[in-house]
Structure 1
Amino acid sequence: MSHFYGQSSRSRGRGRGRGRDQNGGGGHNPMFSRLGTESDSYGGPTGAGAGGAGSGATFADTSMVGYTGGPVQVSIKGWGGGSESSLMRFLDNKVGRPVNIKSVNYRGDIMYVLVPSMDIAQELLKLSGIRFAGGKLLFQLKIPQVRFGGDSTGRDTQGSSSTSESANIKDRLINLLQTRADMQGSSLDLSSLAQDSIIKSIGADPLRDGKIFKAILVIAAQIYPSLVTISFADNGLRSLKPIVDLGVHFPGLRNLSLMSNMISDFRELDCLSAAGSTAPLGQLAELILVGNPARETELAQPGGGLSYVEKVHQRFPTVSMLDMNPVTPRAQPGLVADAPSDGAVVKQLPFPTEQSFVENQGIGDMAKAFLAGFFGLYDGNRGGLADIYDEAAQFSLMVDTSAPTNAFAQTKAQSQKHVDLSVYIRISRNLVRVKSHIKRTSALIVGRNAIVQAITQLPATQHPVQDAQRFSFDAWQAEVPGAHGVPLTVAILVIHGEFIEPQSQSTISFDRVFALAPALPGSAAASIGSPCVIVNDQLTLRRYNGFHGWLAMPADPPAAASGVLAPEQQEMARALQEQTGLNAEWTLKCLENYGWNYQLALSEFPQIRGTLPPEAFQ
């Protein structure tokens, strides 16, 4: 499973509270002397005010000296867990009327607000101690008012030296990191920094000031030297120069998300790779580039899937998970791999593939008879399936929503088409996503009637069973636990294939695993000619990814192996070369790949054309 999965919600959720003392104390971290300290003390009356609603009035009374009417300044501490706008809405709600704040200024992590009257100020004082965004709000009257230099952002521009200001910024960046790292200090979520209240309090704009990223990385390396996962998602990055030192600070980084940025040129990645960095990310295993113009533009090109993976692997040959989908790495972590001379991405098993595994002819014949009858009913009369499900049968459905990445799928319009899987997702039992024990239990459908009722509510389908190459099945016998502890001998049938939804004209790939028991004489299944009944049925759906993955790899024809083509092969090669424009070498490769089946090679050529290198046509 991808490390970035649901990345923002998990990382931010886990990180909240890391600034608190492990023994249950407040936000002061003894590792950093400045954390939790301010020249503007919150002792004395404020501490009393935090104890209850009534103490705020006592504090206000002692602070009335010098007040001559008009707007009142109130300082607020403990608001950093939320945004300024959410705090204003929160205060309006708690006071019971608009607070009508006239101005907002900051000094350190303290917010100074100007309210219209003493009445509203005292209402705010009564709220001291109330919880907001994981923290405790503390209010204090400021009479006389604290004066600010007043730049356009409302940040204080006077009264501190550059040294103290730098220390103040460092403290806040430490606080930022503590709210965004996981409990183990191995994962850091630096997404959407421009919206972070702490970044806003500094007055920094990450989109325009790359120094903020550099400072964050320096401090993060000091606090969390064992980081292996970092997300820079949704930061509007057009260039990666602000994070060019990532490999210097974290040479062992394994997972990197650049999701939803503005990277429009793959060359921007060079500064993190051996192509342009003295400290490249040589251990990188996972990279996410979804939502960047460079990726989307590349994938829109013919054969863009292969060239996209190639451009990533040119820079990061160790990546094995790209955009939350597996890819074949070129090199092991820490090793530099030479690119293949033809630029192709090599994905080949060290042994030939077979289309099916069948334990013996008897079980193979049974499987074929069962599948013919099952898909006939599933496509034409699902109610009739009640006869071939066991009374206590179990059924579950799992939806895989990830996009296919194989070469075949990248060139197929059916694979690129958006498919609405919401009807299936409602009953999906994808254990990667469904964490609730209650949902996992309820999604397992038990009993013949419940199963038939569930599958009749799914969209109508049409399985192209007449085209054998579009399906692959494996079949073997096994013993499974039965009633009262008695083992039950069943046939395990695993089928891979595809179907079309006539209404949406979507093509969907599926895997289905059946556990089949023999149909007893006189049973409903036997009466309709089914050799078996279904004990267990597991269905997995995914976006269309073709059928080439299970096509058997044919042996070379004897004549071709000796370098001499048979007359019929010569004729096929000549005709295919004329039809496709391939050169002689690639014409033979194409025919050999499709087992010298001329019609199949010709029909599939338009789909693979975009994946072939230019030299195939020279």
Structure 2
Amino acid sequence: MATPTAAAQIFKAALPSRNGSSGGGPASIRGAAGAAGAGRGGRRNEDVGMSDASSGVVRKAKMGGHRSGGPMGERPGKGNRSGRDGPSGGRNQGPAVIHDTSRNDDASAEKAPRSTNNIDNLRLFLSMRYSVELRMLNLEYLADDPTLKKYGIMPPGHKDSATNLAAVWWKLAAEMFPEVVSLSLANNNFPSLLPFSPHLLTTSLPNIENLSLANNRLRAFHDLDSLSPHTGKVRNDGKPKGFPKLKELVLKGNPMVEKSDYKRQIARRFSTLSSLDQEPIDTSIAFSDRPGDSVSDLSPGLSPGLARQSAKGRNREPIVFPVPIAPGFFDLKVTRDFVAGFLGKFFPVYDSDRSTLLPVYAPSCTFSFSTDTVPPSRSRAKRIGAKHDKSLPNQHKLDWKDYITATGSRNLTRVRRPEKRVATLHITPQDVIRSLNSLPKTQHPLDDPTKFVFDCFTLPAFLAPSTPGGEPETAIMACVHGEFTELPCNGVRSFDRTFILAPAPPGSPAHNAGWPCVIVSEQMTVRGYSSPIAWAPEGCKDVLSTASGPASTSTSTQERAPGIVSCFLTPRIDAFAKTDWKFLHASYPQTDEQQMIVTQLQSVTNLTYSFAYMCLEQNAWVPETALANFQQLHASGAIPAEAFVKR
């Protein structure tokens, strides 16, 4: 395997000169990176090749008076004319194929010397373009190659080129140079790789480590998909697709390099790269943040079609996310404890007897659920739940028929008829319980805190006053993600549930049943199983990835994953039942003066509202003391990053 230094030498010294010297001659793949004013993309009169790792020397050569010609940049003139009228037929004929020119009686065949067989001519051409010492095949400036002109062979991409020419090249190259590790297709002015049969290229020469496509007209990133080990076409022999060993890639001089996400898109397709355009590249930028990113952009980050292909070949977790993974978000500790108590009481009842949840739904509540029947991409890539997956042996028994009914799933991407959208939105407690009872029975692993994560925050003055002339009510939004075992088949599904909770009025059915809150609105999504590693803190990723699966016990899991605290502890549930909703009002500034002080502290410290409030509250609302303590803690690095507003 070539070293980076060897790769640089390969692309420095082995290219033929413009007069047609062989690959072992003194000419080099000439770089544009060192040329003054060349910029990022390279110019048309510059030859760009691989970097010289030892000295950083970059050479440049003018292409001379290169006039525009065919799509591959060939020069107009007698050479091209003879080629068009040569063995591939006249100008108006269809695409040619490689054939034996000894049988061609066309008078135009006398315009240039001919070998008895074009295959022999191609062997001669390839042998002149290959450097044994450098293990490099140089296919630059094909339109100007004297050997091809001599035998009237049009290069791939030319309108009169043989349709199977590239396929023959790669087959011959594989036979003649099985040890080749470097390839240059630079300076050919082609707008696409399709004429070069990229799939046959990667299957014939799979060990390419260094590739130059510089100074062409490649615009779209998907032109490179067939070369990628993640998005390339699957090989019939089961071997890795694309160029799985590619280390150095040069694309300077192509329009695609001017795009803002150029490096990111290349890194996504070629995770093994160490050098791009003669500069080091960190392929982890494939998952880095960028303006306008959405959740769907980040995983897997390609177009929908490419994402599906990429997921099949990628068996790893994302390297970098825009923000660190956290176990859950909450604005106030009291809010977190309250929601933890609610969930700890809600799910056991949901698993045992859903009818007894009738009081907890508000009289004017809304409820709907939807199903996402598409298996998660990463689960598919890891073959989670596949036939021989011992950790999830019952996944094949799961069925969606109980969810997709006339009054069931309200997946608005599939439910288009207005009458069904109305029928699947449940607006009374009785209707909600009827819908819940129609779903399969479940068992949530509440004894394992690693299987769940929830976010919660308060919504001040969100609800209308419960009494005429009263103050608007504060609500809580809680979003919980987790998994459950579906009974009786014992298959495992993942779910997301979003609740809006409001205070239970005194004397209401919820209050009398021991619920200090009611569910004003709930939305549930049931989906295919995906691993809880998605929300595991960074320090616990390894232990979770080695866990025995969804059925692991709470004791062993908590021992393997220290720092993950259960949100369903019994003391929290007991405290929840005794909670007075007024605690939420007491958790916020009660006067305009306090609110102003919080805002002022925020402007000075860049703290979030909740942390600025906490800082003042813990310092008896004395601004000077609060600021002094903040500065001391900030200087010692004791304040976490999430305490600050991200700009």
TM-score by length of 1: 0.40
What is the TM-score of this pair, normalised by structure 2? 0.39
Larger strand percent:
1
